[in-house]
Structures are given as structure tokens and as C-alpha cells.
Structure 1
Amino acid sequence: MAEEFKNFLNQIPKEIMDKTETHSNTNMIIFRPTSYIIGQKTYLEDYHFILPTSEPPPLRIEQQVYHFTKGKLVSISPETWLSCIRSASTRQYISMMVKKDFFREISRECVGHEEVSFSRINNYYSSHLVNLIDRFEEEIKEFQYDSPLMLQSINIQIAIQLLRESGSQNQVSAKKLPLDQNYIKRAIEYMTVYYNAKISISDICREIHLSPYYFIRMFKEATGLSPHEFILSIRVSKAEELLKKGSPIQEVAKLCGFVNSAHFSNHFKRVMGMPPSEYKRKYFIM
């Protein structure tokens, strides 16, 4: 048991804890649970993040009830009471705690402000964040705690990525966007990271703090494409890379954010002039 998180761990029912894969060091603890704690209020001393892989149950955070969706990062501030209102079937998901002193230190180094608050608590999380969490777990599995400097390095990368993806007001306040091209740059960066998620115009506009009407007109003038067309162009480009590596078409469709294989094939053919199956046969690099 990680002593740094003892108070939190003592609140988890034994039958859930026994089935949960856990990895930790002094800065953070990462869980891979297969169920939620139902009907019990849990006190969070530190920053808490949830990466659901299926629809989670409604969560009561302090006095307010929130409904979340899969694929979105749930960010909860320290010194908060949390409870699940009802049960819900779920696949294994990621839940993590980050020590508040460590997280605030990273925030101070990155953006000059120690206190971290979330303007939104429900944001899309990227594959990059998941990959960093995987690296943290793999490092502990393979090397135990023989390389504390490596673990510290991964901790810092995870914390920075959480600041970027969690809707932290610190990050927004640290970047002033007075010019149109800076708004466009932020929007493109957001779309490039989340192209394979179900992002909407509203999601992009919330991220860069613009009205949808102004953003769509400005983006079209700057790029010659609508935001929707631009996201699709990213998806097709990523699909080309995967097809050249020989990836199955159904897998490519899923990884690149298309609704299904048929949707992917129709759009790919319209853009590239040939269906993905033909493109794969023609350009597959052994």
C-alpha cells in the first residue's frame, strides 16, 4: 500500500481493491478498476482524474450531480467529496490521484501559478496521455523502483499533459490570444490531438474561447476549409499512414475517428479517388 495515499486507499472497499490493478510512487497512484464505488461518499485529499472507457454512472461532486461520457477526462480538485449515485456496467478504466503539492509545483513551473482550478471538469483525453500512463506502469513492472529519476520524469510529463487536457484555468490564463492566427493555431492543435474523438464545433470553441459563428467564418477564411472539412482531412491523412503499414480497414476506421467502416470507405474514396482496400493493395509497404 502506498503510504502517501493511505487515507484514500482506506476508503476503497476490499472487494474492489482486491480486483484492481494499482501502480504508484510518491507523486501519483494509478488504478485500473472494473467497477465504481456505489453509494459511498469518498473524500479526495489530492487531485483526482478519471479516464472512462465506457459510460460512467452519474457522479455527485460535493452537492452537484454530473453526467459524464466515455472518452472524456474527469478532473476533480482536492478536498472534495465524491460519490457514485447508481451502478453502471463498465469496462476497465483508469482512475488516478496526483499529490496536490506535486501538481501545484508543476503548475507553478509551467504557467507561473501554483493554484490549479478547472474551468471545465469534462474534457476529451488524448492517446498521448494514456500512453504516458502506460509508460509509468510499465516502468514499475519492469524495473520496480530502481530508477526513481525515470519515474519522476514520467510523473512530470503526465502532470503537464493533465494540465493541458483538464481545462485548467492556469493554462488558459497563461496564453493570451489577441490575434486571429493564434486562435487558428490553437484550434488546429486541438483538432490534431483529438481528430479521432467525437469533437464538435462547440468543443473547439470552448477550448479557444470564441463564438461558433465567428470561429467558423474566421477558420474558413484562413484555411479555405470548414472546421469539419479540416478534421476529415486529418483523419484521411492518418488513415493513409495506417493503410501503408497494412492495418485492417475496420481498425483504421476506428482509430481515425470514423463512425464505421462504410463511413470511412465512402469518405476516403471521395477524397482519394479510390476505396481504402485498393489504396492498401497499391501502397502497402512491407
Structure 2
Amino acid sequence: MEGARSAATERPLGGALAATAGPRGAVPDEAPASEEMRAFGGVAVARRRFPPGEYVAPPASAGHLVTLHLNGPVPGTWQPAQGRARGYVEARGDVIVVPAGTGCRQAPHAESEDLSVLVPDGFLRRVAGEAGADPDRLEVLHRFCARDEQAERIMLSFLPEIETGGLGGELYAEGLANAFAVHLLRHHSSLGERARRGIARGPAEGSGLSAHALKAATDYVGDNLAGGLSLVELAAQANLSPYHFSRLFKRSTGVSPHQYVVRERVRKAEELLRGGLPVAAVAREVGFADQGHLSRHTKRLLGATPGEILAEGKAERAGGGEAAGGGA
């Protein structure tokens, strides 16, 4: 199975997991650097395009690689590290799961575009342990051209993070990474049925954070809006694992930790804007990446831009001053 690009120079995946590789890890020289892996919340993600040719991926010892096919039907040849080559037609939305420690050869016959998520084995085992499963019994299962709509939805949620350089923030990225790891455990691992039901069910139905734990977490958010606010930090306030904290917090508040933090940042931003603080300073004060990030969320939650809120506050203060002067 010698293709026109079988001699292409292999290049390690970028990001925090640069020493690992997965399917199509042999990236052609002409592939743009922006397509390298980038770390997000405990996993590494890349959107990559591959011209027709053969790509050889050595066994990846550090992580399980999941790819989502993004463009139209692409025929080709696939050969696992230990197995015979076979033809395939990869359709849009098809998912491939390659467990850690396995390699492959893949030869698309037309340009192929994929979204890849590399899940470190240690991260997946940690999430399994937090969810009540036995990490020592965990084995990720190989999948090829499978349909998995939930995995597709989660993976596509990483795309805006790639395009904006993680604009959603660390807390959002961690939530996505944990959700994806749990999905991989539920649907693409060898965990027994009993353990799988436990992961799916989670904490007892109707339970939530204790009043003390909820107050500790929300007080921490209020005191640290300008900072990064990671899921690990919030979970520590409640003495829980990130996995259990996320589930119990949502049961207590009706929103995810990330959604709660965004709402609190917008609430505080509105207060500061109405008080006359400049937009750029408000964005920094409440932890948004920039004015555009702040504007996107105020328009979504309040129906107004920061400039409009600032102007409204100025008018309100002027009106209040005139009323006070008139009554003097």
C-alpha cells in the first residue's frame, strides 16, 4: 500500500501533547501550522485537511484519538496496526475511535477534512474514577466510520474554541472535555453494563449541592470574576471532584458552572457600566477576554451592547442629578 505521499515527513502533533500521534499523524509539509493540536480543558483538538495520499500514524501511547469527518463522502483505504487493509467510504459525521497504543495507515482518495480530539489516557481514567467506575478495568474500544450524534455535537462545540483561541475560557473548555470523556466511557469503552449505568445515572436523582457547598462555590465566583476560574478550583470549594461538582451544581442552580459564571460576569459588568466605568476596564474587571467578548454576552443576555448600557447609565445619573437640583 505505497501511496504518492507515503514518504511525507512526519511531524508531531502540536499543543501540550506534542509527543503523541494518532490517525493521520503524518501531516504533509503543506499542511498549515494552524491545524496542529491545541490543548483545551484536558484534551487536545485540531481541525485538519488532508490531500489524497497515504498517512502513517505510529502507535499513540499517551492518548485515545477520536476523529469526526467534516466534509462529503471520501473513499479510501484503512489498515490498523494489526490487521488487513480494507476499503471504506467516510461520510460526513462519521466517527473513528483509535485507542491508545494502536496505530494505522489511512489513504483517502480525495481531500479529507476532520476534527480530531486526543483524550489523554490518564485524564480518561481520572474521570472514570470520579464517576465511580474502576479505571483498571477500562479499555477504549476501536470504532471505524461509526455514527454517534452526541459525540458529533460535543466535538463540534470545540470548533469555535479553535477558531477564537479559546475565547470561551478555561471553565468552558474543561466542561466540554469532561463531557466528552464521560461520553467516551459510556459508549466506546469496555466498562461493564453496571458501571456504565452508574456513569449515566450519576448522583442520586433530585440531589444537589448542600447549601454550604453551593454558597462556598458561588462566593468564590463572586470574589474571583476577573480571574480564569477553572472547574477544578470551583469543585475544590465544595470538596468534590470536577465530574460530580458539575452535575450537582447544575441540579442546584439549573445551569452549568460555565453558564453561571458568564451570567455573573454580565451582571457585574452591567453594574459597573451603569456606574460609568469605561467598557475596556469593565471587560478586564469581570474577566472577559476583550470588549468584543463582553459585547457578545451583554447583547445575548441583556439585549444591549456595553456602549448602550454605559450611555443609559450616564443618562440615569444625569437625570438623577437634575431631579436633585430641582428639588433644592
Provide the TM-score with structure 2 as the length reference: 0.44
| Greater share of helix | 1
Larger radius of gyration: 2
